[in-house]
Amino acid sequence: MEQPQASVLCALSRKSRCRRGSRHEGEVATPCKKAQTESNEAMTSCEQCYLPHLIDEDVQRHNDLLDVVKQDPSEISEIVSKRRKDFTEEFFIHFYTVAESYYDNKEKQNELAKIGNACLAAVQAYDAATESIEQVNAAELKFQDIISSPSLDAACRKIDNLAEKKELDSTLVLMITKAWSAAKESDMMKEEVKDILYHLYKTAVGNLQRLVPKEVRIVKYLIQIDDPEEQLSALKDAFTPGEELEGKDVDNLYTTPEKLHTWIKSVVDAYHLSREGSLIREARDLMSPEIIQKLEVLKMVVERNFM
């Protein structure tokens, strides 16, 4: 291991210190004579010498993994897939601490930082793919349970129950949508089956829509209105308290200017700061230049007339 990395190891290990000793370039320092004769407790307080057999196990494990990814950076994704559990937060802290130790060698420091970023990207991609597979498997089980219901009413109740428990997600709705779409275009499917799948589709979509925060739903409705006066009137309605109704075709919702303004601002700020990941999934389809322009206008209208 190169000298700067050995220095970092010495700094991180709680059991690798001595008051005096020597270290030669390219090798780990050996304990001084005093450290060899004193008790183990004295040796752990050493300031300079490095005792290989007392290396902290976590640090050693992090170094082993660091060596693996350094040897073949092109295979980082494969390494992550095999050893995901080893790519912990502590490993990345150690990785960047090692990189920082090369303060006098910017080229080496940048090389390590690049490998570290590649590791982080590979871990994020792996986790996203794993989460996606788990979501599909979970949705498949729910879908099979729904279509095996003894009646249409029972199937719809299952969908309603999933929505109430916040377990109705877009993956399941997509499965139901695909099933309905395939049945609709099939000449061999019985009309009764088509009707059942259609009702399941409408029930699922309606429930999923109602899970979206009402401010997001109000914003999506408002930006569809091109006429300024009509949009201003709709804003006044949205800010007028009253009984909220959520139906299959029409939703009567209201909120406050402050809450709506907060949502609009968060989307606009996330767009300009490239922080799409900070938004909830239902708001991410607002992240396009054309819609952002409409949101900026809507934001000014709210500020000018209601705040």
Q: What is the pLDDT of residues 11-44, one digit of tens each?
A: 333 333 333 333 333 333 444 444 444 444 444 4
Q: What is the mean pLDDT of residues 269-289?
A: 58
Cα gap 235→306, rounded to integer Å: 9
Q: What is the mean pLDDT of residues 105-121?
A: 88
Percentage of residues in the chain having pLDDT higher than 70: 73
What's the confidence (pLDDT) of residue 142?
A: 93
Residue 283 DSSP code? G
- DSSP secondary structure, 226-258, as one string: --HHHHHHHHHHHTS----EE-SS-EE----HH
State how beta strands 251-252 and 30-31 pair: unpaired
Q: What are the counts of helices (DSSP H) followed by strands (DSSP E) for the chain?
A: 14, 4
Cα gap 163→207, rounded to integer Å: 6
Q: Evaluate if residue 287 carries a pLDDT over 90.
A: no
Q: What is the mean pLDDT of residues 68-84?
A: 88
Of 26-35, 109-118, 198-207, 235-244, the range with the lowest mean pLDDT is 26-35
What's the confidence (pLDDT) of residue 34?
A: 44
